[in-house]
Chains A and B, each alone.
Chain A
Amino acid sequence: MTTGTLTAGRARFRLPRKQIPVLATLALLLVMYGIGVSQYTAFSNVQVIFNVFIDNGFLLVVAVGMTFVILTGGIDLSVGSVVAMTAMVSAALLKDGMPAALVLVIALLIGPTLGLVMGCIIHFFEIQPFIVTLAGMFFARGMCTFISGASIPITDGFWTSMSQERIGNPQGNFVSISVLIAFAVVVVAAYTLAYTRLGRNVYAIGGNPQSALLMGLPVARTRIAVYTISGLCSAIGGILLSFYTLSGAPLIAVGMELDVIAAVVIGGTVLTGGAGYVFGTVLGVLVLGVIQTLITFDGSLNSWWTKIVIGGLLFAFILLQRLIGIRYK
């Protein structure tokens, strides 16, 4: 009765369990791609996939930052506004004739600074991340219109070259530099989460913050770090967006935070924290991108169908997580 029952209590069904949401997303992506290829001959062109990355590189970077936050069980609603603010600040400073290198440094400092402040408020005053980052969202959006009520075009040489540079193969397929930057961010983030103490502490806090504290983990530092990382990713995303549009517009990326959250959740990261992968987030962003592409290829469908499909998928994935979670507890 004694040892038999205990050691026999081995984990069953363990292998797929944690990876089920990611595998489901991967399957979904393959099915959607299959549908595209079977319906439209041009869909099988590799450039279709490359274009998904080109169009969504900035979204991917921001979603990677959001993955850190959601893994701790938090949320960051400010990302869309910070993306817009970064693009606005860059455009305004470039218009004033500041050198591109200096503009880059300044633009990349704004997001993390705001993230650091929000992280400190969330941790030290024990305020819900939802409301703190909502305040951050209004603040950053307000700053956009404060800088300029209208869109500011970017004519700087560095920016235009980054925008137009094509890195391709002899067959004529290409990606933009932004895509390479996004991939670099993904690789660094995946490594950080899997192999560094900071990354593992993120998972521990998402699993059980109280336990993490009692195990002696630096909860304060980690929690503030994730909002700073999210701010940095938003800033990089903002720069990539300004490469893509060659302008700063006060009302760009409105509601983007919700797309980002949708991508992260569809990518299998659990909203209560503690489980998920950067790889899943990449898949989540690809799912959103392929839906858009499918609807563009169809041509007859209104672009709002994108939202309807994303809504349906979100429901499905939340339910899937719930069903897995019931037995996991």
Chain B
Amino acid sequence: MTDSRPVLTMTGISKSFPGVRALHNVNFQLFPGEVHALMGENGAGKSTLIKVLTGVYDTDEGTITLDGEPASFTGPMQANAAGVSTVYQEVNLCTNLSVAENIFIGREPRLLGAVRWGEVRRRARALLARLDLDLDVSAPLGSYSLAIQQMVAIARAIDIKARVLILDEPTSSLDAGEVAQLFRIMRQLRDEGIAILFVTHFLDQVYEIADRITVLRNGGLVGEYQTAELPQLSLVEKMIGKELDVLEGIEEHSRRDLAALEEGTPLVAVSNFGRAGAVAPFSLTIHAGEVVGLAGLLGSGRTEVARLLFGADRTDGGQVAIDGTASSLRTPAQAIDHGVGFCSENRRAEGIVADLSVRENMILAMQAARGWLRPIPRRRQDELVDKYVKALNIRPANPEVPVRNLSGGNQQKVLLARWLITEPRLLILDEPTRGIDIGAKTEIQKLVAQLSDGGMAVLFISAELEEVLRLSHKVAVMRDRQMVAQLANDDSLDADRIMQTIASGSHREEADR
């Protein structure tokens, strides 16, 4: 599996920023033909290590050798030229250009200065064939899914005769099938002798693909392990540096008696809600204190359901009853009046106002609910904000710092606090734990459990089935923009059964094509 000589060695790497020691004496080595996972919580130093490696940052101390030769890159382009390529979480390609051009732009084969388009397309086809991808290379990149775009980015990266391929959270926006395809390609490249550095938050993926694991914590090296010799629980413990008993408490929560909850009038009951082109009509009831999980692949209509319930999109028809009384949810303002809160999936674009402080961000929804003519007294603001900064363990615990300076997990908690302050009766959480580290993830899960114990209804949307199963009383399954099943979360329900429910439609889809 691995040769004896590492292709890349980083020794004693230290890097400080003003006030922060981002990396301290970290060693890392990468062998040809291995997939090596770099693990750690947000802020552990993974990104800094990658940026030091690719020359975005200088090192303060330490040496990097590539093939035994000392190497120090002044930027990603130079690293590229030396055979170290990086593919980032966001696809950094141009969707308006063709697939072939995206792979070759900047180094197209030319004759007397003119791009040889035939040659570009031929080489692109050959390269994609090597990755076992069957694409129309002259179609614009934007006509393909994000997953395909990600793979085109990999094709671009490996064309530069890459020996080291860095994949920085490539899977965070892919669904299960797409991840499988990506992994197939990673295995193939690995077998061709390329060394792959893989960064992800998904533990299962690490165990599926990685040969070895290096764990970082607080900028320091915790250790390097063979995946086979490191049980998942120990990995998590090494990442967060403490015993992991917090998850155990939650586990029992979900197995509560659904029947007891569902007595009485539902808090929200919608029937035949739907929107042409977004999601087929569905009916759903949510009771006070109930957590309803919404499972399904990316693009299956999960977010669309949430947006209809919040009035962000208008339903084409159907009825809604709130506390048994006919009502309507046609605008977000109406939904907020009825006590519905919505934490968007897209926290950067639709949620957080990056330049405002933690306090200002938290107070936004409450202020909106009161109307702008009745400002919230500063003392009341401080009380509320302090309460939630403590309750959610937001770091740094200073409400006056701009939110942009917080890590992703802490931003997510601020967003949660914004809605919790308004004391909603139904809180819609769209992917609240995506892209945040395991510690913050556990805290948010715990919080959801507590809230529902306190009588709040929660609609919990997540791509991670384990999470949905752990928290929900009832799981609604989305497939192809339809709500295909609502399953009580009793002992018989497990991830496999949900997967089957999700998957049973895909065969039909294949047959159609």
Contacts and interface: CB of A to CB of B under 8 A. Distances in A.
Interface of A: 1-12, 14, 17-18, 191, 194-197, 200-201, 203-204, 206-208, 210-212, 214-217, 274-275, 328-329
B513 A8 contact: yes
B181 A6 contact: yes
Interface stretch (B88-96, B279-287, B346-354, B487-495): B88-96
B180 A2 contact: yes
A197 B115 contact: yes
Nearest to B99: A11
22 contacts: A4-B510, A8-B510, A9-B144, A9-B148, A11-B140, A11-B143, A12-B143, A14-B140, A191-B114, A194-B115, A195-B115, A195-B117, A196-B113, A197-B110, A200-B115, A204-B94, A207-B94, A207-B95, A208-B92, A211-B93, A214-B76, A216-B76
Contacts of A211: 91-94
Nearest to B160: A216
A168 to B, nearest CB: 34
B139 A14 contact: yes
Contacts, number: 115
B509 A6 contact: no
A6 B148 contact: yes
B94 A11 contact: no
Contacts of B503: 1
Contact of B108 (A191, A197, A206, A274): A197
Interface string B376-414: 000000000000000000000000000000000000000
B467 to A, nearest CB: 21
B379 to A, nearest CB: 41
A323 to B, nearest CB: 14
A144 B134 CA distance: 59
Given A6-B148, A197-B115, A215-B105, A206 B509 contact: no
Contacts of A200: 97, 101, 105, 108, 115
Given A6-B177, A7-B133, A210 B144 contact: no
A6 B115 contact: no
B134 A7 contact: yes
B135 interface: yes
B74 interface: no
Contacts of B196: none
B313 interface: no
Contact of A208 (B76, B95, B101, B114): B95
B226 to A, nearest CB: 27
Given A4-B513, A194-B115, A212-B94, 5 more contacts: A1-B176, A4-B510, A18-B140, A207-B94, A274-B94
Nearest to B139: A11
Contacts of A18: 140
B94 A1 contact: no
Interface string B255-294: 0000000000000000000000000000000000000000
A269 B150 CA distance: 28
B101 A9 contact: no
A203 B97 contact: yes
A206 B133 contact: no
> Which 7 A-B pairs have CB atoms at the shortest separation, nearest pair first?
A207-B94, A11-B143, A207-B96, A11-B139, A274-B96, A4-B510, A1-B506
Contact of B142 (A5, A194, A217, A329): A329
A207 B509 contact: no
A212 B503 CA distance: 38
B77 interface: yes
A196 B76 contact: no
Contacts of B136: 10-11, 14
B145 to A, nearest CB: 5
A217 B105 contact: yes
Given A203-B94, A217-B106, A5 B139 contact: no
A7 B135 CA distance: 7
Contacts of B142: 328-329
B452 interface: no
A195 B96 CA distance: 17
B178 A6 contact: yes
A211 B87 CA distance: 12
Contacts of B88: 214
Interface string B171-214: 00000111011000000000000000000000000000000000
B140 A196 contact: no
B147 interface: yes
Contact of A207 (B97, B114, B115): B97
Interface string B107-120: 01010011101000
A207 B80 CA distance: 22
Contacts of A210: 92
A194 B76 CA distance: 28
Contacts of A194: 115
A115 B106 CA distance: 25
Interface string B475-513: 000000000000000000000000000010011011001
Max count, chain A CB within 10 A of own CB: residue among B91, B97, B133, B142:
B97
B284 to A, nearest CB: 26
A160 B431 CA distance: 72
A196 B92 CA distance: 22
A216 B106 contact: yes
A4 B115 contact: no
Contact of A204 (B97, B114, B147): B97
A12 B142 CA distance: 12
A9 B144 CA distance: 7
Contacts of B135: 7, 10
Contact of A9 (B140, B145, B506): B145
A180 to B, nearest CB: 24
Contacts of B144: 9, 11
B346 to A, nearest CB: 15
B389 to A, nearest CB: 33
Contact of B115 (A5, A10, A196): A196
Nearest to A13: B143
A196 B114 contact: yes
Max count, chain B CB within 10 A of own CB: residue among A17, A196, A211:
A211
Contacts of B93: 208, 211, 215
Interface string B453-471: 0000000000000000000
